Amino acid sequence: MKQSKTRIIGITGGIATGKSTVSNMILEEGFKLIDSDEAAREVVEKDSEGLERIVREFGNDIIDKDGTLDREKLGNIIFNDEGKRNILNNILHPLIRKSIIEKIEKARDSENVIFVDVPLLFESKDEIEESGLFFDEIWLVYCDKETQMRRLMERDDYNPEQAISRIDAQFDIEEKKRLADRIIDNSGSIEHSREQVLDFLDEYR
């Protein structure tokens, strides 16, 4: 990626820490935010290179009648098969990173700061940097593990064992806290989180 004065800020969190809530606050304040989940959906749209490569690997059965990806069928294939899950990730992740970089390049001339929402940023930081994408700062949306677990159980109707297994599948939130440049503590009220976000954003207005 070419260098410019535009600052690239990664937004990340842990499962059920409230990252999407904070990303929406940033958008509401008029800042440019690129959503990696949205990029992930775009790279498997009908007739896309991503979808074509997935079909080549997993067969036509994962295509719906309208020519779009049947996410449920694909999910069933990879859910309990780490090898196939890795194959899918090796197809999609480079395409997602390429899409994000293209979106950043398009926005550079008109934005002095661009936020990129990446759920598993620390887990995939090496691969992200190998693709040529570097962050000037990483902001972590944080809450303590007990709050994280409670929210996950309430949100997805998980029992404690299910919640713990999903939390433990990611980097520990306290380790992410140590690695991040800025922390937005989302353990309390939305109003408290908004105050922190606005304070940080004021530096870029």
- The model's pLDDT over 49-66, given as tens digits with 9 standing for 90+, comes to 999 999 999 999 999 999
Going by the DSSP 8-state scheme, the letter that residue 81 receives in this structure is -
**Sequence ranges of the chain with CATH classification 3.40.50.300:** 11-31+116-205
Looking only at the bridges linking them, the beta strands covering 32-35 and 182-185 are unpaired
pLDDT of residue 4: 53
Residue-wise burial string across 42-80, b where 16 or more C-beta atoms lie within 10 A, e elsewhere = ebbeeeeebbebbeeebeeebbeeeeebeeeebeebbee
Looking only at the bridges linking them, the beta strands covering 137-142 and 113-117 are unpaired
Per-residue pLDDT of 136-179, as tens digits, reads 999 999 999 999 999 999 999 999 999 998 899 899 999 999 99
| CATH 3.40.50.300 given to domain 11-31+116-205 | yes
Going by the DSSP 8-state scheme, the letter that residue 69 receives in this structure is B
Mean pLDDT of the region 31-44: 97
In the predicted structure, residue 2 carries a pLDDT above the cut 50: no
80: confidence class by pLDDT, cuts 50, 70, 90: confident
Mean pLDDT of the region 57-85: 92
Going by the DSSP 8-state scheme, the letter that residue 66 receives in this structure is T
Closest alpha carbon to 148 in 137, 160, 138, 131: 160
